[in-house]
Each structure stands twice: as structure tokens, then as C-alpha cells.
Structure 1
């Protein structure tokens, strides 16, 4: 199938629906109580807490605030912790496993209360998620796991067999799925713009195009070199996630940057969107290299994301492949044009868990493994509380070993081979299941 890419836009669809940006600080002050490096969800939520707590707060970013994945993601919000309770129990024991999984639930609940309590204009909806099985065997596992989560963790969920699937998602390509009613959706760029507003209103100074190039400990705190001048700070927070550089080599060795690619369709007839997303839920599937998709908040387009190439590529080069897989799930979209194609960089950790803590006196929170909307915001908030010396800032992630691998320096040379293998396995399983059906 040939896809017309003539008029495709390389910027995120989300960026076109933003109000005017607030006025930022041009140059950083010479001294502050807290310097935050990275103006995404993590950094801005930390800044809101520290600024409201009375500390002079500066946020610097190598690009314009919001350049990174905070305005480029799919706007899907879950409980964020990928490993199951069973896997975590085997590794950490029952109590620690429950605490780790509990942080994911708390992050989701806190996020909703925060957005609604602050009155943020970001198209936040408690729409729920439909998690679809790409083979009958995966459906059986999904149902078992869902029942375990319901009984042992109190996570609300219910199975949907293939015969009833179209009440949730307008496709016959999957073999049923599980609904998580408390999962949410948001307009990611509007959310970021609102966090930027809150941070500035709280008194934080935000400086863009000011990459931090070095961090040096001093007798009174830290000396940080930025592209717009030197800053002395009492405390430093690194909140760079998938955009972490050699500014902090120890941290970069523990981050696996992975590009995630998204397309948006042209505007669609209301009847098509209603057929495909009758409940307005967000959606994902059980593929190892999963797809995630949704109707946009105005219900005029479909945003469809995933990883379709082994190596990092131009988003426009990935667009036809994403379109192909979108149409495999939704054949009625076969003649649909792509209006936008973009990508963002997420950060995985080697144990598939978020991590927060401090190293050499520098606070950090990173590694959201592609599920960072609520967790990045939550751990940014908790990091801000730690800087203020508040006991509630502590989390179940704080005392965990943050793993790396021998000889790994932050460039995932192994990723293309791993993605290619898992992509091949996913496609093989899906094709085999389709023939059997």
C-alpha cells in the first residue's frame, strides 16, 4: 500500500493546539537555592513544589521547554510499573513488591487529583484503557493476570472476550482484551503548558536554550555551567530522562534511550471515530514491541504509535510502516492519509522500573519505561519534597539498586538487534494466530 506523504508535517499534532507560550526568563540568575536541569514533566513538577515551598528555583533546558517527550507522547496514563507483582516478589520479596506496585497506583491517583485540584486545562479524561491480546494465548494470560491484580492489588479491571470486543474497540484483529477503567488520557502538550504556567506562577525561573554542561560540587553546594552562564546552587535536580547526556555519566550508564514514533491521521468522519473508539478509551496491545493508539481529544483523528524499525529513523520514514500496522488493526482506515509524523525519546532502565534518588549529592528521577505521564509528574513532585526535607518525599524506589551493564556508556548498541527480534516474534505470533482464527 502506497501512502501519500506529500503534505505530512514533522511536528507533533499536539503542538498545533497550544495557547501562546508564557514569557520565560532570558538569562539565569547567578545563585539559586535549587537548580533543576530539564523542563519536562519531572522538572516542572519538582519546580512547582520547591518554588511553592519558598526556595528560589531555576529550571534550565537544552532546548525550548517542552521540546522533548513531555509534549510528544501519546497522552496515555496508566499505573506505570511494568513488572508484575509476581516478578517483583521473586526479586524483592512480598512487602517490597507490594510497595513498588503501590507507587504506580498512587501516582495514577495523585495525578488525577492534582490535575483536577489545580484546574489544569489539558483535556484530562478518566476514559480507561483497552489492552488487547494479539493471540488467543495472550488473552488467556491477560485474563489470569487481571484477576490476580484485582484480588491481590485491588486494581479494577475486567475481561472482554473477542465476541464482545467491538463494544470497546472497532476491530476483529485482536482476540479479546482487558479493560482498566481507571486509566486516563490527556493532551500531553497542553499538560506541559499548564505545568509551565504553574511553575512560573509559583516563582520559578525557566530558561530555555541553556544546556547544562558541567556540575561541580563546592563547599556550599554546586557550581553548574550552562550555555547562558554559570549558576551556583544549593541543590541540583537532574530531570532529563530520555535526553540524559554525559553531564552525569553515572546516570547515563543506567538509561536506555529509545525512540517512540507516532502518526496522526487526517480528520476523519465522526462515524468512523465512533465505530473504532466507541468508549473513547485509550488502547494498547500485548505485542512485545507494542502499539498504542487513541482518538485525539477532539475525536477528529487517530493518533497511532509504536516502534516499527529496528534502528532509530526519521519519523516520516517510519510513517508508512505505522500506517500499515494501523490499517492491519483497523482495515477501514486503509485509504486514510497521514497528516503528522513525529517521535520522542523515552528512557528505559535495565530492570524496567523507574528510579529516583541521589548520586554525589545530585537528586534525580528517570527511567519511566514509556509510561511516564503520571510517574514522571509524581516522582518530580516527590523529588521536590525531598529537596524541601519533607518525609513524604520518600518512595519505594529510593533504596533500590539502579542497575547498568558492563561496558555500557549510554549508547544502546544492542537495541536494533533486540527490537528486530521482538518485532519478528510479534508479527510471527500475530500471523499464526490470524491463520488459526
Structure 2
């Protein structure tokens, strides 16, 4: 056992170690198809599955290997995905639209479980519940009030855990109680993505990796894309690139805020220690502005711990020791154990904290999952597939929402370092004052 991150720290996602060889993909790009999907994460593959099962000839391309983005790098936590509260959305859109938007998050959570179970995916999907921890007493009181409001107004099931009972959920004294949201789930994101890949291929979709799209041209019958493997024409085009959205469609790039998220995995731990830290196998997060999220691995041999560790983007070799320090502040029991993995992925935020989907110049898109997209990404991808097939149920309450940007913003969040620095300072100050009180 080491006292710090191991010198041979792996900088690929821990999830990849549990996967066998990837399914074979095509080496050449077809010259035409009915539906072309750019992006091979949950969104793109879900759209491909729906369209292919509806009889469309579908091609999925990706700038990297299939699934190289955040769909195989996330923390495997599944929530309702909609961040703004019902009250905030009501103030912006009115009561009816606000309730419909919040309802899409509930639909996405229900859909992902039904989809996984219906397709028979072997991806360690579990309905474990989330412990959302308060990092100050004031945040605890706010959590309790908000949870009661959501139970009363939206039927969202939860229960309160005061600090005196916190160890029944998570063995730490760093927080001041919290709330358990009983319907939230965990999953092995790498196995989940592998299930999407195999299902898309079984449905007849063609997958082509290392095929970056470099240009789009509108044609009389659809679109012509130029890629590093040649040109391809299609009738329907789907952009499903989320945090990896470039300048292919500048309008979308100006509405995506790419943010690096960083995760570590400990070396294998004694069973008794994992049982002590996470006795009910919950997923967990906290109320910090720069949020931490953590859980036991599906085999309950390691702890996975994620968050933001620096104002500007950094690499996994740098983020690993910093996350390790933060993890041990919350769980001092882990100071005698080292790390095996440290990795990063890029999520996409929006300026209004909402996911966005719809069409721009005839191009279908869904993105901006704001760090909570495991269920919403696949759900909105499925809805895009339904739209392509002409099914009315493809429409969602997220379609047609204003999709804001900011003056002079071109896809590089120059404002992020200052914001992260301030919020990290604020979180640390609040935490220290609360623990000293």
C-alpha cells in the first residue's frame, strides 16, 4: 500500500480495463446513406439504433475511435439530468412548460432503465439511490426544504439523513447530513457504451472511427459531408458531439461550454473498508459549487472519485494527486491507499444549465447535458431517431427552447478559470468555517 498516487498511475479510464476487444468497425466510409450521425457516444448511437430499426440506412462517424469521448469516461452516475428547479423554470417559461421540462428528466431516468433491461445489457445497472451531501449546515437546511418541495410538487421520492445518521449512508464527518434521492442509479459506463455499439451494429448501422468531419454542404436532397476519409452524402444529419463540438456548425459551437471533468480510481481496497465507506452502495455528490461525485466501483473493490481540481484545464497526471488530496480530506480512511487510475473527459454545459435539442439549418442535434447526461443523452438521441422517422412522440419539452450564447464567445470558455477559482475559494472557505463552528 502506498501513501499517495502510485508512480505507475494509469491515465486511461478505469472502465476500459473491464472491456474485451472492441467490436470491429468499418475502415472505409460509404459514399451515401439515409442518416449520418457525427459522434459515437450515447446520443449518436441511440439515434442510430432508433433510425436503423426504423429501416433507415445509418452511418455513424467519429473523429476518434468509437466511443472515445465522455460516454466511456464518466462516473457512471444516473440522475434526472435537469438542473434548474421547477420554480426557476416557471419564472422563465411559465408553469406548464416548466413542469414539462422537468418531466423530461424523469422520463429520461425511467427510459434508461427500461432500455438497458429491455436490451439485456450487461452493464452493472443498479437502482441504488444518490446521497447528496451538504457541505455546510445552511446547505443542509436548503437541501431539506428543496427535497420537501420536490416531493410535494413533483412526486420526486427522497428522504432526509441528518448528520447524526450520516454514517449509515457514507462514512465521513466532512459533511452536515444530506438527502437520498431513491431513484438515481449507477452503471458501468464502458459496458453501457459497448451495449450501445453492439446494438447499433446489430440494427444495421455502419460505424466508422478516426473519421473527423471537416465540412458540411447543404444539397438539394440533404447534406454532403467532407471527412478525413472522403465525402459522404445523406438525407438526414445528426450532430451528437456534446463536449467535443468543434466549428463544424459555428452556431452550435457558440452555445457549448466544454469543461474538463477529472476522475480517479483507488487501488483495490479491503472489502470491509468499502463496506464501511459506502454501506448501501449509493452514488454520492455534494453541494459544493465545484461539485465532487464519488462511488464504489461495481465490483466494490475501489472508490471512484471525481471533480474539478484546477481553474484551467490540466492533464490526468496533474489532476490525480490533487483529487487524491481532496478525496482523503473527505475520507481520511483512504490515506493509506494509493491510486491506480486518473483520467479526464470533456462535458458540455450551456449558459442556461439546460440540455438542448432541435434542428439548426436542418441538422438535428442534442447536447449540453451539464455533467448529468448518462440518461438524457441516450434519451434525446432516441427522440432524434423518432423525429427522423416522422414519429410525433419524438418531440420533447426541450425542443425549441431559447439556446443562449454570450457576446464574443466562440467555443473557448475564457471566463472559466476565474469562475472556477472563485467558486473553489468559496467552497473551501464555507467548508472550513462550518467545520470550525
**Both structures adopt the same fold (TM-score exceeding 0.5):** yes
Moved more, 314-323 or 228-237: 314-323
Correspondence for 1:99: 100
The question of whether the paired residues in 1 share the 8 Å contact of 2:214 and 2:225 is answered with yes
Aligned positions of 1:256-267 closer than 5 A: 256-267=257-268
Give, in angstroms, the shift of residue 103 of structure 1: 0.2
Correspondence for 1:240: 241
Give, in angstroms, the shift of residue 5 of structure 1: 3.7
Aligned positions of 1:71-110 closer than 5 A: 71-110=72-111
Correspondence for 2:390: 389
Instruction: Give SS of 1:45's match.
Output: helix
CA distance in 2, matches of 1:395, 1:4: 45
Correspondence for 1:411: 412
Flag as ranges the 4+ runs of structure 1 deviating above 2 A.
1-5
The question of 1:65 aligning with 2:40 is answered no
* Two-structure CA RMSD over aligned residues (Å): 0.9
Instruction: Give SS of 2:26's match.
Output: coil
CA distance in 2, matches of 1:277, 1:157: 18
Aligned positions of 1:332-347 closer than 5 A: 332-347=333-348
CA distance in 2, matches of 1:141, 1:10: 37
Aligned positions of 1:175-190 closer than 5 A: 175-190=176-191
Instruction: Give SS of 1:206's match.
Output: strand
The question of whether the paired residues in 1 share the 8 Å contact of 2:4 and 2:335 is answered with no
Correspondence for 1:203: 204
List per-residue Cα deviations over 1:339-361 (Å, max 9, x = no partner): 10000000000000000001011
Moved more, 95-104 or 5-14: 5-14
Correspondence for 2:19: 18
Correspondence for 1:135: 136
Instruction: Give SS of 2:289's match.
Output: coil
Give, in angstroms, the shift of residue 321 of structure 1: 1.3
Give, in angstroms, the shift of residue 315 of structure 1: 1.1
Aligned positions of 1:235-314 closer than 5 A: 235-314=236-315
Instruction: Give SS of 1:101's match.
Output: helix
The question of whether the paired residues in 1 share the 8 Å contact of 2:5 and 2:320 is answered with no
Correspondence for 1:423: 424
Give, in angstroms, the shift of residue 2 of structure 1: 6.9
Instruction: Give SS of 1:246's match.
Output: coil
The question of whether the paired residues in 1 share the 8 Å contact of 2:3 and 2:338 is answered with no
Aligned positions of 1:109-128 closer than 5 A: 109-128=110-129
The question of whether the paired residues in 1 share the 8 Å contact of 2:135 and 2:174 is answered with yes
CA distance in 2, matches of 1:150, 1:47: 36
CA distance in 2, matches of 1:139, 1:237: 42
CA distance in 2, matches of 1:3, 1:36: 43
Correspondence for 2:32: 31
CA distance in 2, matches of 1:31, 1:261: 38
The question of whether the paired residues in 1 share the 8 Å contact of 2:3 and 2:336 is answered with no
- TM-score normalised per structure 2: 0.99
List per-residue Cα deviations over 1:145-181 (Å, max 9, x = no partner): 0000001001000100001111111111100000011
CA distance in 1, matches of 2:287, 2:334: 22
CA distance in 1, matches of 2:81, 2:269: 31
CA distance in 2, matches of 1:178, 1:316: 33
- TM-score normalised per structure 1: 0.99
Structure 1 gaps, min length 5? none
Give, in angstroms, the shift of residue 335 of structure 1: 1.7
CA distance in 1, matches of 2:419, 2:198: 40
CA distance in 2, matches of 1:147, 1:155: 9
The question of whether the paired residues in 1 share the 8 Å contact of 2:263 and 2:306 is answered with yes
List per-residue Cα deviations over 1:102-148 (Å, max 9, x = no partner): 00000000110010011101100001100000000000000000000
List per-residue Cα deviations over 1:75-95 (Å, max 9, x = no partner): 000000000111111111111
CA distance in 2, matches of 1:181, 1:28: 45
CA distance in 2, matches of 1:76, 1:119: 19
CA distance in 2, matches of 1:13, 1:409: 33
Instruction: Give SS of 1:323's match.
Output: helix
